[in-house]
Structure 1
């Protein structure tokens, strides 16, 4: 995100809980401590806790940690562009440290949202409904903290003067599950207009995701890469929570895949379960910057022009059947206005009316699969346009930013059935999805084909690292990372400054 305004938020807990809350590409966040959270109107703090979700839309920090270390994204240096002291290379090559910018900023952003939710929970003026929403948001932020960092700094609201205690991955997961279950009766059911707030269906999704990853999160911290044992009770719980969403009858797969990410996705798609709701011309005011998703990858010569940054990997692109609708599509109002298509951009690129586009040196703009991570030219790398730009308002479009969607529910259920021994049931679900996406059904289902299908459906949505770890593939060599990574790299280190601030936190094994 660029040029976000300063935010003044009274806070009981942020200063100690997250340390310095700054982010390298956000303006300073000014935080005052007050002695009584009840002096603040809870609706304002709850809104701030929701607005903090906007940090997920940045191309750096949280999103960068979920994608760059995986097999579906890389950030090549192009001459003087995109070197940034090696930050993107370090993520892709698994050589980050406990002082890396994105590690620190992700930790800070997650703890800021967590702390804001705490303020609502601890405010005597908060209604039961507001507390339930805040507890969902706290669980959401804690889930990502557990997933990325393997432990959580958790403040006991009854002891505001104490430093946050360090919750282990296993204990934090159990606490999140219990809390989400406890608020289910106080959350509203999903409607056509409330996907931007906590609902029963969003809570069921989060529970399914927690149970699906419970084997990973309960692992011995000295052996974080597994092997994992997926308990039948956990897989049954995934199915139960997935079925709660499926049987609600409120969701269905989008016939057009890219409707899920369209400027009008709130009306075009029936897959959206939990999102940042954006309005055209106003999305930047709630800290949401969907534009980053196309700016970070698109070339200077395209419409819209971009920053010519991130690409996918050749092997990942080659995992798609070329008739798969998820590979790409012409989008009315975008392709006919500027030439850009949605999906993967490879080969010669064209502008309006089929004009052949050139790079800054006057060479044909041909995106190639091969990428030199340290010394790429501006044409190297297959680009990805998932959120389709609105040509009439490129900087502040109305695309809702998607966290949870229905296709993932189906894939989580399929995986749980597969791990529970019901391969035929899992195959039926996967093939139903594949048929909707325009590809032939599979004849058999394996771990490898299930992971591949998750990749094809969920690419660049922030789940690939999580998926690869669960399937035991995260540490394997990929394009531009030739060696197998050590086991401890499946979690990120606790930032050094946090260890200095809070002795209750201990550095993760291996760092």
Structure 2
């Protein structure tokens, strides 16, 4: 049975005690801080605050495809329901990031409250240190989302009190990443390697450090933290690629960290966005699922053409499906859409769950760590054959016994391996919201987008600071171009 962040107890607690956090500018009235200080009296109170910081993760999940996939080369809007057009065509304005900003800074403020007030509670020191370290890891996670999207942002290492520290200017991008790394290193050193499902631990902190260092092109440190996870022996690839995305396999040995969902209680909004939504006509809206699904996303023509034949491809995109009634039989996308929508993203099929999907959202899985290690080793020790072992383990699973598909790599130049591992990440992690970040860190983003005919200006490598924030805080400077 899933442990949904301590059996989802934090949802009940938040309903009766909504922790104060910013939705716009990290503002709090002084009375709320007095109340908070009085509230933090026990270990249980500290955990309530911690679960409050976790709760913002759900807001990030719904936004992740726009930032990680829609603005990249593999995913586009559904031709039937073009409800993300502005992302796909880069016509969004400076308000587009307000949701990300609000979610992250609200959570950062909650984490800061936990860090500050837990220190003054009298309970066993080791457990206290763990709660504080966990809050610091969460704070780092949210800051990573902000810095990766917008560059340097204001740094807050304590909760806001009145109007004393709400007008912080932007810190440099380097300073923000140094802050992130410091928090994660504390968590990696302090926390236990395992934890209840949905909670952070030292393995997750090391996985996040590997991703942070990879984004910064610090390959030596990316390799070190990826190897820490690999050498732990606690993770392995599942035998069947398709099993990764089924609700019954949530929190499997391949899933290093997942945000927890439970059908009918806390529903993952993403699977329904990937399924094909039927147009009006003979199939109505009940052919793929029992209810109308949003069907917002579709694989791009480039992804369809460039994804090599393999079992993994067949599990990622599909040009047909079986009618949900189990009687009608196989229906082709050509039959329903007449060629305008030739493939849909089948990777996250939770057709029975429909709009109440209980499949978890995966933040880290073992294949990602293997590919981070392979890429980093290629940059630091290109003649080391270990890089082939790591990448070929991923390819072996992807071909599923068909030896002619995705053969093992060997004898590549350093530059050839760079291309190969980036492409392996593209197809292994397809639609898992990593592609845009991979292109940006490799300085390939603008070329890839322009090759697709997108009107992308140079400054669009980073996202804008929300206009609302620059208007409220006179010390905030907008990213150039926005």
Q: TM-score, normalised by structure 2?
A: 0.81
SS of 1:462's partner is coil
For residues 307 and 321 of structure 2, the distance between their equivalents in structure 1, rounded to whole angstroms, comes to: 20
Q: Label 1:73 to 1:433 Cα distance change in 2 as closer, same or farther (>3 A).
A: same
Alignment partner of 1:312 is 2:308? no
Shift of 1:293: 2.2
Aligned position for 1:151: 152
Shift of 1:460: 1.0
For residues 501 and 146 of structure 1, the distance between their equivalents in structure 2, rounded to whole angstroms, comes to: 20
Q: Structure 2 residue aligned with 1:45, among 31, 46, 49?
A: 49
Shift of 1:258: 2.1
Aligned position for 1:240: 224
Aligned position for 1:364: 335
- Whether the aligned pair in 1 keeps the contact of 2:21 and 2:27 (CA below 8 Å) is no
Count, aligned residues: 434
Q: Structure 1 residue aligned with 2:257, among 259, 274, 280?
A: 274
Shift of 1:472: 2.0
- Whether the aligned pair in 1 keeps the contact of 2:275 and 2:346 (CA below 8 Å) is yes
Aligned position for 1:371: none
Q: Label 1:157 to 1:304 Cα distance change in 2 as closer, same or farther (>3 A).
A: same
1:440-455 to structure 2, matched below 5 A, reads 440-443=407-410, 444=412, 445-455=416-426
Aligned position for 1:110: 104
Aligned position for 2:165: 162
Shift of 1:67: 1.5
Alignment partner of 1:290 is 2:268? yes
Aligned position for 1:355: 329
Alignment partner of 1:321 is 2:281? no
Alignment partner of 1:407 is 2:338? no
Shift of 1:15: 5.3
Aligned position for 2:471: 500
Q: What are the superposed Cα offsets for residues 137-171 of structure 1, whole Å, 9 maximum, x if unpaired?
A: 11000011110111223224287321244222111
Shift of 1:357: 4.1
**Which is worse superposed, 151-160 or 404-413?**
151-160
SS of 1:245's partner is helix
Q: What are the superposed Cα offsets for residues 433-483 of structure 1, whole Å, 9 maximum, x if unpaired?
A: 101211322343433222111011111111111001122221125599415
- Whether the aligned pair in 2 keeps the contact of 1:253 and 1:270 (CA below 8 Å) is yes
For residues 431 and 484 of structure 1, the distance between their equivalents in structure 2, rounded to whole angstroms, comes to: 37
- Whether the aligned pair in 2 keeps the contact of 1:254 and 1:271 (CA below 8 Å) is yes
For structure 1, the 5+ residue unaligned runs are 21-31, 216-233, 330-342, 369-378
- Whether the aligned pair in 2 keeps the contact of 1:189 and 1:200 (CA below 8 Å) is yes
Shift of 1:346: 1.7
Alignment partner of 1:211 is 2:213? yes
SS of 1:419's partner is helix
Aligned position for 2:77: 75
For structure 2, the 5+ residue unaligned runs are 1-10, 40-44, 122-127, 278-284, 400-405
Q: Structure 1 residue aligned with 2:429, among 449, 458, 461?
A: 458
- Whether the aligned pair in 2 keeps the contact of 1:74 and 1:92 (CA below 8 Å) is yes
Shift of 1:313: 0.5
For residues 7 and 474 of structure 1, the distance between their equivalents in structure 2, rounded to whole angstroms, comes to: 42
Aligned position for 1:34: 33
Aligned position for 1:132: 133
Q: What are the superposed Cα offsets for residues 5-36 of structure 1, whole Å, 9 maximum, x if unpaired?
A: 9967655552564579xxxxxxxxxxx94335
For residues 9 and 469 of structure 1, the distance between their equivalents in structure 2, rounded to whole angstroms, comes to: 41
Aligned position for 2:282: none
Q: What are the superposed Cα offsets for residues 349-389 of structure 1, whole Å, 9 maximum, x if unpaired?
A: 65524525489xxx822574xxxxxxxxxx52521133331
Aligned position for 1:336: none
Aligned position for 1:172: 176
Q: Label 1:274 to 1:396 Cα distance change in 2 as closer, same or farther (>3 A).
A: same
- Whether the aligned pair in 1 keeps the contact of 2:25 and 2:472 (CA below 8 Å) is no
Q: TM-score, normalised by structure 1?
A: 0.77
**Which is worse superposed, 474-483 or 302-311?**
474-483
Q: What are the superposed Cα offsets for residues 397-456 of structure 1, whole Å, 9 maximum, x if unpaired?
A: 432221111111111111111222415432332122101211322343433222111011
For residues 447 and 226 of structure 2, the distance between their equivalents in structure 1, rounded to whole angstroms, comes to: 30
Shift of 1:48: 1.8
For residues 194 and 289 of structure 2, the distance between their equivalents in structure 1, rounded to whole angstroms, comes to: 36
SS of 2:171's partner is strand
- Whether the aligned pair in 2 keeps the contact of 1:304 and 1:389 (CA below 8 Å) is no
